[in-house]
Amino acid sequence: MRPLILAFAFTVAALPAFAQIPCRGNGGMAEPSAAIAEPQPNQFHRVAGRGLACAVAPAEGEAMAARKRPVTFLPCLRVGAVGIADERAVVEGLLGEPSQVSDLGLRTQARVYPIRQRSIPEPYYVVTYQDDVAVAVQLIGPPTEMPATFSGLSLGEPMQKVLNALGKPTRRCVLRAKGPETWMWQPFPIGVDILDGRVVGFKVTWPAGRDTPH
């Protein structure tokens, strides 16, 4: 059975870190490949004429269609083995202890997890937790030796592969001078960082203002 494709027309809050920064649209960008890959469960997927959608496993899609489960793109908000709504104990069982911990509020904390490998600098995760539940996941740095993908894309991929997989972004924003350009696809709270034509980071978040996912 083919996975169910969920396309969303409603608007969710943009990534909080992207507020008040220089952004532009997708004018002048290269076109995606005409060929569209077969959708895979738990991955965002370009749909001809409809933009971006989240593919879910058939059983999960059937439950959503029958209203036995809420319709959600949460299954696609994953970077490697870590996803939104994962509990901190589960994440640290996979990634180990953090190298840095930053308190962002009474209920919110960001933790940094380096990925130990031969390359220098090492890639690393930044996971933000609210009440010990992941509400934002970032993977940053050079390519990982072990697979860690977002919707089938890896660190180091050429930007044309991003366009082929996800289509043109809605907005492109620069967070800091000489830093990467962050591509975003509204209404989904996701971002891909591009520097010198290649992927250097992924970010998925839980929409601001919603209850912490469980």
* pLDDT tens readout for residues 3-57: 545 444 332 333 444 445 689 999 999 999 988 888 899 999 998 888 899 998 8
Give residue-wise pLDDT tens across range 38-48: 889 999 999 88
Give residue-wise pLDDT tens across range 78-112: 999 999 999 999 999 999 999 999 999 899 999 99
Task: Measure the CA–CA gap between 214 and 199, rounded to whole angstroms.
Answer: 30
Q: How confident is the model at residue 164 (pLDDT cuts 50, 70, 90)?
A: very high
**pTM here?**
0.87
In this predicted structure, what is the pLDDT of residue 207? 75
Are the C-beta atoms of residues 84 and 77 closer than 8 Å to each other? Answer: yes
Task: Measure the CA–CA gap between 114 and 20, rounded to whole angstroms.
Answer: 29
Q: Is the pLDDT of residue 139 over 80?
A: yes
